[in-house]
Structure 1
Amino acid sequence: MLARRRYCWRWAVHLLTALIALGGAGEAAGGPPKPGGGNRPTVSVIDALGSGESAGFRRAYAPRTLHFPDDHGPHPDFRTEWWYFTGNLVGGDGRRFGFQLTFFRFALAPQQTPPAETSSAEQRASAWGTRQVYMAHFALTDVAGEHFQAAERFSRDALGLAGAQAKPFRVWLEDWRAQGDVSGPGALELTARTEDMGIELTLQGGKPLVLHGERGLSRKSAEPGNASYYYSRTRLPAAGRVWVGGRAYEVTGEAWLDREWGTSTLGAEQAGWDWFALQLSDGRELMFYQLRRKGGGVDPMSAGTLVSTDGSARGLNA
């Protein structure tokens, strides 16, 4: 399996559009969208993507003990976060498919008061109010049909439209969702549909959870705090159905889950990164991210992880 993702500032355009549609503001999205641009965002694009002002948010300075299932859920005290599923599937007739289903959380503003110390009325003056925006990407490749389709959605963490929770694990945006057992042998279910494509997959235990970097701390630049907490499930047996071209296919295959959260990730001279995930035929897995510099070339902080057949991991450097 080969999966690849590219992070760059063109994502900013999509996020800014979402914030306008959601009525986002520097404090929070406080009401339904108003006609005529009544709710105009005051948060900048770069700030929303995590490389601008980080005051009020926690940052990933040092390794910490990750606690599960709690850390499968959201971390609203950090600015950005994602649950990133990819996989390769094959039908009974040998037809091959690739999929991606990803949920992103973006904080519009820091949490002001611990939720336990604040009444629900004080936390939100409006039922539409939120400090969290979610974005989801769904993509499906039909290899034999030489056809790739992709869709995205945006919504707010309010009125049940989107959100995430740890116990029991669930992350969703409208009817796209992932739920179930993330770290154990139990099932993890993925569901996403559009008019033209869909998946209903069950992922089983597979190989154990892997921590990347320094016990889960993945440093992206030399500046302290430009890092994230990062773990993966690198090989999850998958089975279920795929819908494409007006047909349903029973499929099996293998999936990969990436989990990452942080506040300020890239340094001033970094433009983004390319991420690769490979499930090798000998039972090992390889993850590597290549950080790109604004002036061109590869940043020396680029790194990766090689996972052995027994689940043990070895860090790799550029």
Structure 2
Amino acid sequence: MNARVLVLLCLPGLAHAQGFAGLGGEAGGFALPDPSVAPAFPDDHGAHPDYRIEWWYVTANLTGPDGTPYGLQWTLFRSALAPREATGFASPQNWLGHAAVTTPESHLFTQRLARGGIGQAGVEAAPFAAWIDDWRMAGPDFDNLDLAASGPDFAYDLSMSATGPLVLHGEAGYSVKSGKGQASYYYSQPFFAVEGVLRLPDGAVEVSGHAWFDHEWSSQPLSDRQTGWDWFSLSFEGGAKLMGFQLRENDAAGYSYASWIAPDGTLTPYVGDFEAEPLEMASLDGVEVPVRWAVRLPQREVAVDVTALNPAAWNALSPPYWEGPVTITGSHEGRGYLEMTGYE
């Protein structure tokens, strides 16, 4: 699911629209996902300017030579003021980039803003390239990508190689987000092996590990009652993976979904069966945020504690949200990523 929608709050008039970050507002002439049409590749790795919002998202769990764990985020958001593309300053497309590195002791983050039509930011399907200024995710094909970003106090250069297939969430990529039927197109590449270099205030660190890529696009993915979400991408020892989210509502039970991903990439969807209960809170910028969770998927005998590597992984951007690496203990062991939006 993911906070990739944050770009909306950088655009005039959308910050106070219905639903979280305006995502519950009417589509207003933009395209809507069609459950009878599945994503097709490589074309759908690219941008979809007739949809209102879109994001390309990488999170990575990494390890240094001395065993220190690290987390990494690279995100490119697209938001449209109108359902079309154009060249020059006539383009209605707006772009936002977020990048972060998390260690057990620190959380470093930054952002970039751009507009469409002038080459400052964009996405090309084949060969794949996504960029904003000098930040890039690109390669000769989607199975082999280089990833780079930099901020005032960090930078990274990584290589990612796919070791498994793409997975389509929901029903063949049609991902329902509410009981009212709002939906997005949503697929992942959760099988990237990663190696490269982090450049941190204390020096360069060689790292390796695994990354999870998400691509999602829609025009009205939430209902007007939904206030935020908790999104988990969990990689278990043994090779299985779990993506689960719950969308919160102030005055009613929320909507939940999970994808169980077998080591060979086979996906089994579960609607309404994913459970996530906060166990421990942290106060960050005056906001109480859960940083330890009990996560359950009874059909797969999953009953785990999910704990933040660094509870202070708070992106103080517009709007602020929590995004960081987690450790997994209990019925399954492993590492993953957690994103939480809409906490006030």
- The answer to whether the superposition gives a TM-score over 0.5 is yes
Measure, in 2, the Cα distance between the counterparts of 1:268 and 1:49: 8
**Secondary structure, in 3 states, of the residue corresponding to 1:46?**
coil
* 2:192 alignment partner in structure 1: 236
Deviations 1:198-249 (A, max 9, x none): 110100021110010011100112334x100111111210001001114111
Q: Using the alignment, how far apart are the partners of 1:95 and 1:49 within structure 2?
A: 39
Does 2:5 match 1:46? no
Q: CA deviation at 1:154?
A: 1.3
**Maintained 8 Å contact 2:46/2:123:** yes
Name the structure, 1 or 2, with higher relative contact order (CA <8 Å, separation 6+). 1
Tell me how large the CA RMSD over aligned residues is: 2.2
The separation in 2 between residues aligned to 1:133 and 1:265, in whole angstroms, is 19
Which segments of 5 or more consecutive residues in structure 1 lack a partner in the other structure?
A: 20-40, 116-122
The structure 1 residue matched to 2:208, chosen from 252, 255, 265, is 252
Q: Which has the larger radius of gyration?
A: 1
Give the alignment partner of residue 93 of structure 2, picking from 116, 121, 132.
132
Please, which runs of 5 or more residues in structure 2 have no aligned partner?
Answer: 273-344
Q: How does 1:21-40 map to 2 (within 5 A)?
A: none
CA shift for structure 1 position 317: 2.2
Q: Give the superposition deviation at 1:181.
A: 5.3
The aligned residue for residue 164 of structure 1 is 123
Offset at 1:62?
A: 1.4
Specify the code of the residue in structure 2 equivalent to 1:227: A
Aligned partner of 1:309 among 263, 278, 282:
263
Is the Cα contact below 8 Å between 1:6 and 1:275 reproduced in 2?
no
User: Alpha carbons of 1:237 and 1:101: their partners in 2 closer, same or farther (altered >3 Å)?
Assistant: same
1:131 and 1:161 map into 2 onto residues whose CA distance is 14
Compute the displacement of 1:49 (Å).
Answer: 3.9
Runs of 4+ in structure 1 over 4 Å off: 4-8, 41-45
**Higher strand fraction: Structure 1 or Structure 2?**
2
Residues 158-211 of structure 1 show CA distances to partners (whole Å, capped at 9, x for unaligned) of 321111111221111111111125644xx1111001120111010002111001
Letter of the structure 2 residue corresponding to residue 308 of structure 1? A
Match of 1:199 in 2: 156
- Pick from 103, 110, 113: which aligns with 2:83? 110
Aligned to 1:287: 243
SS of residue paired to 1:128: helix
TM-score by length of 2: 0.73
Distance 2:236 2:166 in 1: 17
* 1:91 aligned onto 2:50: no
Alignment length, in residue pairs?
A: 270
Q: Does the CA contact (< 8 Å) of 1:68 and 1:183 recur in 2?
A: no
Q: CA deviation at 1:55?
A: 2.2
Q: Distance in 2 between matches of 1:49 and 1:135?
A: 16
Instruction: State the AA in 1 paired with 2:102.
Output: T
* 1:151 partnered with 2:110: yes
